[in-house]
Structure 1
């Protein structure tokens, strides 16, 4: 009974499961609330008078809604795929003028209605996401326009003495607000009660803070010196970099303790606490800049400096970096606080339109007067820093292409810094204070970012060298280059923020990057690419494991020859790569059907351009299947002879007997004539020509040659060696020794041994090996007669007498005498007159 009830329950649950999945798959999106937020954002964008904070807030709300809509675009995706498959199973719909069975038509209508119902939530979410994209784009466009207007706004020139009192007015307004707040704090009933109650804590924190600020860097430096004496050079650099962090962290901790002690006194109000926090930020940035200056321009030779500078120049670089860090800190945290509080102080007394206009003029002129001296000082420091970078180029020797490229980057950076150092103060003096600030201070902070990247890269490189125990080789290897590339990519968002990009812009860029781009109807995103890469690599690893198992364990135990084993292993490799690619594409959800038309159009052009590669590829497949040649074969093709070392899908690599490698396209092996000396077996025939002088006993020669051939260990006796008397040559009686070698790879060695033994046996038997005979016919034989005077020359009008040709043998010539010459010597061989 219980079993029946369980089966009934499972049946009811299975029938209700599709409906539950359909009901739960649709996300609960409140489109009424969305419509309200979207309408509010569109109204604000059209008006364009809201503050940036308001726009940022409404933009974030729209971005949150868009994320929900993006997630709802895949609603009912599995059910939609099922219904589409059912519709496809019904076959194509009837064409115009034709009908189909009523049951099929009714079922097709039901499935189409169900499909439309399933697709409705995703379509609505897609529409809402498109509307959200448009609203966000309009808000970003409006805010970027405001930034541009602010940069190009011309304020009163700080060089005009008329505007100097405005700067004093802004500073005095802030000073008055602070003094009023402190006076209010001190006018209380017992303002020092909190200080008395917390006196031990305040004094303790104050003393510890002063100790960390004053002695912390010195302690870390002594620790680094002590560790350097006990560690190797590679380990010393890593430990020095780690210990140097203490030179920064201990003073930062001291600043934090000092601020905590001042807060415990309760003598300052909210404005004073803000100012103390700002001052703490300024001091912290100064400490970080000091540490960074010590790492980029080191005091000692213990650490490797990024720039090639002398000791005095490095000292100047440290001073410039510390001073520039102080100016950046003053302009950054302190400057922003002055602007913010100055506006609130001046706007507090605004009650009429004229007062508002006057307050605006005071703010523009006063802030310009206060900012211009900082701009001039920063310009001077940047100018000198750019000159130091250019001096590095004069001290550096470009011994490689990599160092030359790096030096070009350093030189370009130095030139850009010098240009900014000159242009920015000029803009500030004219009145474009905002543009000068937007150009000058981001440049200084970008230099600090670059310095930080260099320091981190140097530390990671030293750590890699320490782990791998490779000094110069490790520093020039691929890993440090990849580390630098990753650090550079990671620094790009920070650089974008430095140069005025809003965090919302970076988030928008990241969302766009995550969603990917459409290529031919296929959506390519980082997730899709990562899925494809992981599955393809796993498939490739499995293929390599199968190949290794076959090569080392299974195939050697079979009777398949070496060439067949290599063909099987190569075929499994190509099949595995193909299957891995197909499975990876399917798992990543890439639909290649939309690329079929593009691929068909490109195939024609690619076919013409790659026909040679395709021909070689097909030839390689044929070589692997038919195996007319295999690895280890001795072949001769196209005038090249050697041992086959590897057969790939495009070419075959052979090693000649000169130990050189020749790459032969596979098409030449299929279409051309190939001689395989060792295919099937290594036996081969050697034909050795031998010549003896005329008059020699030919039977005796035949016997000697036969004995010489039989004495060679590699000469096979079945078939037995043969000695052939081939004929009567121009200079000799010609014989041939024809033998079959058991291993044709030693043909040259056997030929050499046989020649040695033939020469020895002929010498013992007194058989002469002739050399070529020549007859010389001279047109003027009189030169060989005595040393008397040459015959008189005939007159010009007389015909020269005919001189009979004289035949002179080799013995008649002798050695020519000095001063005697031979003219028009004709070289003629007995017989056919050929030259050998």
Structure 2
């Protein structure tokens, strides 16, 4: 607790000191002459539209740097401006048209307004320059995006046309000859192997280590993982397995880096060869990364959690497709960029005239299209098969949960999208839109890799959470793993944007605009403002909670205020503290809500209708806390529900019934409805026990017994003493009531039960009968139950026919004829009923006569 308080105090000190640190030094005014020169140059470049992309990127970065300076200069003289504005407001409102004011006040107002204009001038100039910089940056971005769009939509010679195939061979031969020429120049030196001999120990060592890491690194990591997992718990196994598996990725890549370092030490390769070797190293590294990812997404054994439901054969196919797609993307990426750059240098470098330049451009377009198109087709085939694998997962998946169904729909949509890309991209490439096909198929592959990485990282962080929280597998479906996945998705958005063609400058511009804030109805909301608001509000909330805790535990228990009053004071302090913290936070963040007054007024009408019930309950809750007609711990009855009040909030009151169920009662019902509070003020209460005795009982004796029973109860108060009332003559009994006052009404049911037990015992000992309701049934016309003569004869004939076919054993079970049914049997029928009634009536009148 002490450490927590120290941390809170430190956070408070940092928050209070942060504004002073940020604004301790006033920014210097920018050099507007230098800015004018840079801005003019940038505007001329945009208008001419002839510079290369690298030149535009350079001038754009300069303009962005100037813009940051202007943004910082907008707050020049901010404190002085605030002071002068306060002085002007102190003079009062300016006179209206046709009115005048005191000359001294008018002169002072004019002087302050002139001083204010002079102080605001640097900030206004900086704002104007920043606006111009924004316009230049936007124009450059628009121009570069237009160029990128033109490049994607440019139609090149079709690679399916056999006429263009020699152009591809020509590009390859030119590059091969260029590499051979460079290697020949390296070997034509006086002693080309001198550096290799001098660095032989280092070269041999690097080569040996590189080969060991590439060839045996993964095997070592597998053995280490088996040893560790055999000694660890199940939850720890998954975490250690992921950490150890990173060695399968890092060791081979380290071996590739060492291998290239060894080749550099030989000094036998020129610049173009080194670029080629680096591109090859990137391709190999991508293969190892894909090998690791495929092992996590499509595991080789069942001990790892697989995100897709596939058979072992399909998982093996998934691993092969993943590696193939990574290699294709790497070949088209760094290797393809090297191929394009070197091809342009070689082929366009030899062109002199305009015709030669046009011919070189045709050769490059046709040759690169011929070389890239087979790679596009292979990548499309792999994507098509990958999409089919995802669709097969849907056929194997039987998830019944809503979350699982949503995830399966996403997987199915992804599989359909991959199949669509695999069909459309080669068609575009075959037509001649090579750049568009590349921009469609290879970013899709990279996006698949990003999704796979997110799945692996999400699984790892979920395993870490389950391990740290010491929860079983049910912890994987809790809130924290879902938040982890959401955060990883947000972090993946910038890489995804870069994959699909966004420039880093575009992302930087979006981040800058986000930092500058978004204007909503004249109110600017930026991360800095939001952070200031959040910090101040949290500090205010913590102070409120500390004050509430101090009052509740230290101060209020020492007063004579009852528990309900103490809770009302603590709750009221909490609401007031939250409101005050919000107001201070808004003021500290510099948010001006005056411009939102009209919008808030318009919304308040609609909100008032929509939230009428909530507002009514809220006001009722405030009234309950102030008037306190009920308090926590009271036994109340409302709307037919009876129970103990457990909590009173601003919207509702929580009642726990005697069968341990919770009832949420809106506060409006407690204010406007009828509420019975059994324990408000004191816990005494009256108990009424009704008793009935048989007619003929001595009523005075009954009264004496009942009075003694009531007096014997320990919770029955003797002042006022118990009262026994002879209420009257009931339909079945003589009715009495025992009325007592209990010292604690919470035990009313227990006292009533004990009194009933004792009354029953005392009445049994005294021979007093407790009657129960009895009813006699009289038949007005019993003769209607007897059947007619014709019906009796027909029933008799039918019974005789049936009886001739039955055996002696079944004769006793034969149906009784209607004639026989009509005869009164002993103890049956009206006569029997009359006889029984006569026998039990002890001298009453004959039933037939009645």
TM-score scaled by length of structure 2: 0.88
Alpha-carbon separation, structure 2, partners of 1:578 and 1:38: 48
Alignment-derived partner of residue 345 in structure 1: 346
Q: Secondary structure at the match of 2:829?
A: coil
Aligned-pair CA distance for 1:770: 3.2
Aligned-pair CA distance for 1:357: 0.9
Q: Is the 8 A contact 1:653 1:664 kept in 2?
A: yes
Aligned-pair CA distance for 1:773: 5.8
Alignment-derived partner of residue 459 in structure 1: 460
Alignment-derived partner of residue 796 in structure 2: none
Q: Taking structure 1 as reference, are residues 815 and 386 closer, same or farther at Cα in structure 2, changes over 3 Å only?
A: farther
Alignment-derived partner of residue 112 in structure 2: 111
Alignment-derived partner of residue 676 in structure 1: 677
Unaligned runs of 5+ in 2: 1-22, 792-825, 835-850
**Given the alignment of the two structures, is residue 600 of structure 1 paired with residue 601 of structure 2, yes or no?**
yes
Alpha-carbon separation, structure 2, partners of 1:607 and 1:211: 74
Q: Is the 8 A contact 2:29 2:73 kept in 1?
A: no
Q: Secondary structure at the match of 2:731?
A: coil
Q: Is the 8 A contact 2:29 2:122 kept in 1?
A: no
Alpha-carbon separation, structure 1, partners of 2:268 and 2:345: 23
Aligned-pair CA distance for 1:83: 0.5
Deviations 1:580-617 (A, max 9, x none): 21121122211122222222222222222222221211
Aligned-pair CA distance for 1:532: 1.5
Alignment-derived partner of residue 170 in structure 1: 171
> Structure 1 residue aligned with 2:829, among 808, 813, 817?
817
Aligned-pair CA distance for 1:506: 0.3
51-60 or 554-563, larger mean C-alpha shift: 554-563
Q: Is the 8 A contact 1:783 1:820 kept in 2?
A: no
**Given the alignment of the two structures, is residue 318 of structure 1 paired with residue 319 of structure 2, yes or no?**
yes
Deviations 1:420-460 (A, max 9, x none): 11111111111110000000000001111111111222222
Q: Secondary structure at the match of 2:682?
A: coil
Alpha-carbon separation, structure 2, partners of 1:820 and 1:83: 116
Alpha-carbon separation, structure 1, partners of 2:309 and 2:652: 49
Deviations 1:22-73 (A, max 9, x none): 9984623111111111111111112222211111111111111111111111
Alignment-derived partner of residue 613 in structure 2: 612
**Given the alignment of the two structures, is residue 79 of structure 1 paired with residue 80 of structure 2, yes or no?**
yes
Alignment-derived partner of residue 800 in structure 1: none
Q: Is the 8 A contact 1:685 1:739 kept in 2?
A: yes
Aligned-pair CA distance for 1:820: 10
**1:231-270 superposed matches below 5 A:** 231-270=232-271
Q: Is the 8 A contact 2:634 2:645 kept in 1?
A: yes
Aligned-pair CA distance for 1:782: 5.0
**1:362-377 superposed matches below 5 A:** 362-377=363-378
Alignment-derived partner of residue 692 in structure 1: 693
How many residue pairs are counted as aligned between the two chains? 778
Alpha-carbon separation, structure 1, partners of 2:743 and 2:300: 77
Alpha-carbon separation, structure 1, partners of 2:623 and 2:42: 67
Aligned-pair CA distance for 1:405: 1.6
Alignment-derived partner of residue 569 in structure 1: 570
Q: Secondary structure at the match of 2:272?
A: helix
Q: Taking structure 1 as reference, are residues 238 and 732 closer, same or farther at Cα in structure 2, changes over 3 Å only?
A: closer
Aligned-pair CA distance for 1:342: 0.3
Alpha-carbon separation, structure 1, partners of 2:708 and 2:833: 51
**Given the alignment of the two structures, is residue 559 of structure 1 paired with residue 574 of structure 2, yes or no?**
no
Q: Taking structure 1 as reference, are residues 749 and 817 closer, same or farther at Cα in structure 2, changes over 3 Å only?
A: farther
Alpha-carbon separation, structure 1, partners of 2:572 and 2:588: 24
Q: Is the 8 A contact 2:239 2:463 kept in 1?
A: yes
Alpha-carbon separation, structure 2, partners of 1:788 and 1:424: 96
Alpha-carbon separation, structure 1, partners of 2:674 and 2:637: 9
Aligned-pair CA distance for 1:151: 0.8
Q: Is the 8 A contact 2:782 2:830 kept in 1?
A: no
Unaligned runs of 5+ in 1: 1-21, 793-813, 823-836
Q: Secondary structure at the match of 1:746?
A: helix
Alpha-carbon separation, structure 2, partners of 1:782 and 1:346: 128
Alpha-carbon separation, structure 2, partners of 1:144 and 1:816: 107
Q: Secondary structure at the match of 2:655?
A: strand
**Given the alignment of the two structures, is residue 185 of structure 1 paired with residue 197 of structure 2, yes or no?**
no
Deviations 1:143-177 (A, max 9, x none): 11111111111111100100000001111111111
Aligned-pair CA distance for 1:711: 1.2
Alpha-carbon separation, structure 2, partners of 1:457 and 1:788: 87
Alignment-derived partner of residue 201 in structure 2: 200
Deviations 1:628-677 (A, max 9, x none): 11111111222222211111111112122233222221112112221111
Alpha-carbon separation, structure 1, partners of 2:524 and 2:699: 88
Aligned-pair CA distance for 1:777: 6.7
Deviations 1:195-225 (A, max 9, x none): 2222222222222222221111111112112
Aligned-pair CA distance for 1:563: 0.9
Q: Is the 8 A contact 1:783 1:821 kept in 2?
A: no
Q: Taking structure 1 as reference, are residues 574 and 209 closer, same or farther at Cα in structure 2, changes over 3 Å only?
A: same
136-145 or 775-784, larger mean C-alpha shift: 775-784
Q: Taking structure 1 as reference, are residues 768 and 191 closer, same or farther at Cα in structure 2, changes over 3 Å only?
A: closer
Q: Cα RMSD between the aligned structures?
A: 2.3
Q: Secondary structure at the match of 1:230?
A: coil
Q: Taking structure 1 as reference, are residues 233 and 559 closer, same or farther at Cα in structure 2, changes over 3 Å only?
A: same
Q: Is the 8 A contact 2:552 2:570 kept in 1?
A: yes
Q: Is the 8 A contact 1:547 1:572 kept in 2?
A: yes
Alpha-carbon separation, structure 1, partners of 2:635 and 2:619: 23
Q: Is the 8 A contact 1:26 1:76 kept in 2?
A: no
**1:114-193 superposed matches below 5 A:** 114-193=115-194
Alpha-carbon separation, structure 1, partners of 2:65 and 2:404: 47
Alignment-derived partner of residue 47 in structure 2: 46
Alignment-derived partner of residue 820 in structure 2: none
Aligned-pair CA distance for 1:775: 6.7
Alpha-carbon separation, structure 1, partners of 2:267 and 2:357: 35
Q: Taking structure 1 as reference, are residues 275 and 474 closer, same or farther at Cα in structure 2, changes over 3 Å only?
A: same
Alignment-derived partner of residue 382 in structure 1: 383
Alpha-carbon separation, structure 1, partners of 2:742 and 2:648: 28
80-89 or 258-267, larger mean C-alpha shift: 258-267
Alpha-carbon separation, structure 1, partners of 2:617 and 2:483: 36
Alignment-derived partner of residue 814 in structure 2: none
Alpha-carbon separation, structure 2, partners of 1:312 and 1:703: 94
Alpha-carbon separation, structure 2, partners of 1:613 and 1:232: 51
Aligned-pair CA distance for 1:759: 2.2
Aligned-pair CA distance for 1:290: 1.7
Q: Secondary structure at the match of 2:689?
A: strand
Alignment-derived partner of residue 64 in structure 2: 63
Alpha-carbon separation, structure 1, partners of 2:405 and 2:748: 55
Aligned-pair CA distance for 1:696: 2.3
Alpha-carbon separation, structure 2, partners of 1:23 and 1:530: 20
Alpha-carbon separation, structure 1, partners of 2:444 and 2:377: 14
604-613 or 408-417, larger mean C-alpha shift: 604-613
Aligned-pair CA distance for 1:781: 5.6
Deviations 1:780-825 (A, max 9, x none): 36569xx797999xxxxxxxxxxxxxxxxxxxxx986289999xxx
Deviations 1:495-537 (A, max 9, x none): 1001100001000111111112112221111121122122222
Q: Secondary structure at the match of 1:470?
A: coil
Aligned-pair CA distance for 1:548: 2.3
**1:286-685 superposed matches below 5 A:** 286-685=287-686
Alignment-derived partner of residue 768 in structure 1: 769
Q: Taking structure 1 as reference, are residues 732 and 261 closer, same or farther at Cα in structure 2, changes over 3 Å only?
A: closer
Alpha-carbon separation, structure 2, partners of 1:184 and 1:710: 124
Aligned-pair CA distance for 1:120: 0.6
Alignment-derived partner of residue 799 in structure 1: none
Alignment-derived partner of residue 728 in structure 1: 729
Q: Secondary structure at the match of 1:717?
A: coil
Alignment-derived partner of residue 803 in structure 2: none
Alpha-carbon separation, structure 2, partners of 1:664 and 1:754: 34
Alignment-derived partner of residue 8 in structure 1: none
